[in-house]
Chain A
């Protein structure tokens, strides 16, 4: 299917919008009517046709505009992309992984021509046609990690593996759910997750680390994570929190359906061949409440999940103050009918919304 790339913004007037196709393929993160932290890893080996799981690095209608937003963030704050000196080899590994994957998965959009170490990379959506020498940084306009992540949706954390731990030693992070690469760079797995409530006590991170340390080349894994964002703002960074935090207070019962977005991260994990580093792409998908409610199953389920979420999690995810208004809105889409298991919309099999009695 040909992708029609949107011309849209994730700031200012916020012209971002999802097509009907994008809504149907939105990675709704709740597989049942309640939520608690879990390791919830699975193999990243494709998925249903046209789902966000199908390709190794999903390219969608927001690609070109997301890359423009990333360029704006990096121009404003170059510290969002950093690589400690020992991570350059991993950067080349990552460049290769993405170029090979995208040229194989989207041959109509990307081409990679290799003749020994002379590589030609063609990125048609962004109008790039570069020839360079693989492993020679002087032949690229940026370091290898920065070069390729300026052309790939999602944040990228490149993790060094040593001492039975993973170390956040490089990354490009411009669409983050309120954490700072500049502050966390150099930390180990437990340290950069330190502020997360409840999950340490549940042993989540010990088990997750054990799983991640054992990921093998050619056998990537994935999981979903989520939070809430007012307005389709990609750059919800702590660096700029003093500027965007106020937007959380602009919700009203009239605008919540269009302004409040469910923010979902498709997290994937790939072992890199030369460096033995692990790359951890965190791809952000946004969908407004109004658009989510066009899927009856998701309307019912989102209401139940948000209603029953522990206070610590609603606080950590930053929407505890807005939760009552969210529930007023969402309850209108929950008629009490049961929901099918799994994350998929199941539009053909799930019943339409019955009229909900006014509360």
Chain B
């Protein structure tokens, strides 16, 4: 249950919080993988009675534990991409005062936050808590392709194949960090990939 402490960084890099139950009739909780643990940490029968949970297990086995909390609605999706149309539909109906909780990987939180912002909810009103993998969703600044779950720096763009280094510069609109060619000035000189926070 230990949480990863992200090192201090630049001002475009998101800072994730800690979920806490808020007053309100309607609650939307979107989580992937270990994010389920953050929901379980704040779940009470009263809160769950007004909560719609959207959960993407990604190999984790928390779905039954979440279901056992008796949320008003529960959906288990195989991938974020498969779930996003449902997320949009739910946000479309969101009434004033809907509380949004996002937890799990940065990629999940970033993309779901983008959907909530598109629905008119200010990002500052959305609760977040990082859990699980510290992998990043990266945009290649050159080809614009997104590579999900990047764990190393540098990495190879899954679209154009350039060797990219991992920046902390982050776009909420794209829900992605920026990847930039690492060997442009010395082609082929690519350092050995390391974990992003190593």
Are the CB atoms of A200 and B11 closer together than 8 Å?
A: yes
The answer on a CB contact under 8 Å between B181 and A183 is: no
CB distance A186 to B173 under 8 Å? yes
For A243, the chain B residues whose CB sits under 8 A away are 184
Assuming A184-B171, A195-B169, is B141 touching A246 (CB within 8 A)? no
B134 CB → nearest A CB, Å: 20
Which of the residues A190, A193, A194, A239 comes within 8 Å of B141, measured between beta carbons? A239
A48 → chain B closest CB, angstroms: 38
Q: Which residue of A lies closest to B142 (CB)?
A: A242
Partner of A241, one of B144, B168, B181, B187: B181
Q: Smallest Cβ distance from A159 to chain B, in angstroms?
A: 15
Considering only residues 239-275 of chain A, those with a C-beta below 8 Å from chain B are 239-246, 248-249
Choose among B13, B139, B141, B171 the residue that contacts A186 (Cβ–Cβ < 8 A). B171
Across-interface contacts of B10 in A (CB, < 8 A):
194-195, 200
Give the shortest distance, in Å, between B136 (CB) and chain A (any CB). Answer: 14
**Interface size of A in residues (CB-CB distance below 8 Å):** 27
A187: which B residues are within 8 A, CB to CB? Answer: 12, 171-173
Instruction: Say how far B103's CB is from chain A's closest CB, in angstroms.
Output: 23
Contacts of B174 in A (CB 8 A): 183
Q: Which of A184, A194, A248 is in CB contact (< 8 Å) with B11?
A: A194
* A200–B171 CA distance with the chains assembled, in angstroms: 19
Contacts of B181 on A, CB cut-off 8 Å? 241-242, 245
- Please indicate the chain A residues that have their CB under 8 angstroms from the CB of B185 in the complex: 245-246, 248-249, 321
B184 adjacent to A245 (CB under 8 Å): yes
- Which of the residues B12, B167, B186 comes within 8 Å of A249, measured between beta carbons? B186
Specify the chain B residue showing the minimal Cβ separation from A248. Answer: B185
* Complex partner residue of A183 from B11, B168, B169, CB under 8 angstroms: B169
Q: CB distance A190 to B186 under 8 Å?
A: no
Would you list which residues of chain B between 151 and 198 have a CB under 8 Å from chain A? Answer: 162, 167-169, 171-174, 178, 180-181, 184-187
Residues in A neighbouring B142, C-beta threshold 8 A: 238-242
> Contact string, A214-257, partner B, CB cutoff 8 A, digits 1/0?
00000000000000000000000011111111101100000000
Q: Bits for A145-186, please: 1 = Cβ < 8 Å to B, else 0.
A: 000000000000000000000000000000000001011111
Q: Is the interface of B mostly helix, strand, loop or mixed?
A: loop
Contacts of B13 on A, CB cut-off 8 Å? 194
**What residues of chain A lie closer than 8 Å to B171, measured between beta carbons?**
183-184, 186-187
Across the A-B interface, how many residue pairs have beta carbons closer than 8 Å?
65
Contacts of B186 in A (CB 8 A): 249
Cβ B173 vs Cβ A246 within 8 A: no
Q: A190-B11, A242-B162, A245-B181 are in contact. Are A183 and B141 (CB under 8 A)?
A: yes
**Once bound together, how far apart are the Cα atoms of A245 and B187, in whole Å?**
10
**Closest beta carbon of chain A to B194's beta carbon, Å:** 20
> A residues within 8 A CB of B12?
187, 190-192, 194-195
Complex Cα gap A290–B172 (Å): 44
- Whether A41 is near chain B, meaning CB under 8 Å from some CB there, is no
Do B184 and A79 touch (CB < 8 A)? Answer: no
Taken together as a complex, chains A and B put the C-alpha atoms of A238 and B13 apart, in Å, by: 19
Contacts of B139 in A (CB 8 A): 183
Nearest-neighbor residue (CB-CB) of B163 within chain A: A242
A192 and B178 CA atoms in complex are apart in Å by 12
Q: Are B180 and A241 in contact (CB under 8 A)?
A: yes
| Distance from B195 Cβ to chain A, minimum over Cβ atoms (Å) | 22
- Give bound CA distance, A187 to B14, whole Å: 12
Residues on A lying within 8 angstroms of B by beta carbon are 79, 180, 182-187, 190-195, 200, 238-246, 248-249, 321
**Across chains A and B, which 6 residue pairs bring their CB atoms closest together, nearest first?**
A245-B184, A194-B12, A194-B10, A242-B181, A191-B12, A186-B173
Query: Can you offer 30 A-B residue contacts whose CB atoms are under 8 A?
Result: A79-B144, A180-B141, A183-B169, A183-B171, A183-B178, A185-B173, A187-B12, A187-B172, A187-B173, A190-B11, A192-B12, A194-B11, A194-B13, A194-B169, A195-B12, A195-B167, A195-B169, A241-B141, A241-B142, A241-B180, A241-B181, A242-B142, A242-B184, A244-B184, A245-B181, A245-B184, A245-B185, A246-B185, A246-B187, A321-B185
